[in-house]
């Protein structure tokens, strides 16, 4: 049975997940790519205008459209996660992140950062329209003028988001070769 987990995800749920499991999630996610990772790491925790503890990190550079003075998601597929490998362990530690969603592999630093703490979930590449359909609300956007549409930090509410494969679990197990 494939289960839908709520974000924020509880530690007991994190530890119940194992590499290879397939799940869905519902709740809030925030997007962050390379430039957003760098910006977040430079800022003091108290300078960040949103809480990390109740959201999952989504490696995504969405394609958005402004229509009738409201944002609409056109495509929100995952971006290649390994580009964030050099930043991820520090981001996990600094902001207490326990769930990351992306595409492709992550390396040893991320695996170590998630041990006893969190999971890395893989969303299928090329499924940007499906992901957009699973976003139920655009809550906020930060640093849009500074970073541009794809690199800005977007806060989305998602419902039954996935399918997602647990690629790295909290026990340090990974679907990737070291």
Task: Please state, in angstroms and rounded to a whole number, the distance separating the CA atoms of residues 110 and 120.
Answer: 8
Task: Please state, in angstroms and rounded to a whole number, the distance separating the CA atoms of residues 100 and 81.
Answer: 9
Which tens digit of pLDDT belongs to each residue from 33-62? 999 999 999 999 999 999 998 999 999 999
Considering all CA atoms of the chain, what is the largest pairwise distance in Å, rounded to the nearest integer? 48
Report the CATH architecture of 3-168: Alpha-Beta Barrel (3.20)
Which tens digit of pLDDT belongs to each residue from 61-99? 999 999 999 999 999 999 999 999 999 999 999 999 999
Which tens digit of pLDDT belongs to each residue from 106-158? 999 999 999 999 999 999 988 999 999 999 999 999 999 999 999 999 999 99
Asked whether residue 23 carries a pLDDT value surpassing 60, the answer given is yes
State yes or no: is 37 an active-site residue: yes
Task: Please state, in angstroms and rounded to a whole number, the distance separating the CA atoms of residues 40 and 94.
Answer: 9
Q: Is residue 150 exposed (0-12), middle (13-18) or buried (19+ Cβ within 10 Å)? A: middle
What the block records as the tokens of 135 is 């976003």
pTM of the shown model: 0.97
Q: Are the C-beta atoms of residues 62 and 150 closer than 8 Å to each other?
A: yes
What the block records as the tokens of 106 is 């992550």
What the block records as the tokens of 174 is 């990974």
pLDDT given at position 120: 98
Chain mean position to CA 40: 14
Q: Which of 37, 46, 59, 160 is catalytic?
A: 37
What is each CA distance from 38 to 42, 91, 152, in whole angstroms? 6, 9, 12
- Averaged pLDDT for residues 160-172: 98
pLDDT given at position 82: 97
């Amino acid at each position: 049975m494939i289960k839908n987990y709520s974000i924020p995800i509880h530690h007991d749920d994190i530890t119940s997940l194992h590499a290879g499991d397939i799940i869905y999630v519902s709740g809030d996610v925030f997007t962050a790519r390379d430039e957003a990772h760098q910006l977040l790491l430079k800022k003091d925790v108290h300078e960040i205008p949103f809480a990390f503890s109740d959201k999952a990190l989504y490696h995504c550079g969405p394609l958005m459209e402004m229509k009738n003075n409201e944002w609409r998601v056109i495509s929100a597929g995952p971006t290649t996660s390994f580009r964030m490998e050099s930043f991820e362990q520090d981001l996990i530690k600094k902001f207490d992140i326990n769930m990351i969603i992306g595409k492709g592999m992550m390396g040893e630093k991320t695996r170590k950062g998630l041990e006893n703490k969190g999971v890395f979930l893989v969303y299928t590449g090329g499924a940007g329209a499906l992901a957009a359909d699973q976003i139920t609300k655009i809550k906020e956007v930060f640093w849009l003028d500074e970073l541009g549409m794809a690199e800005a930090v977007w806060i989305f509410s998602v419902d039954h988001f996935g399918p997602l494969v647990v690629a790295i679990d909290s026990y340090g197990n990974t679907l990737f070769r070291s």
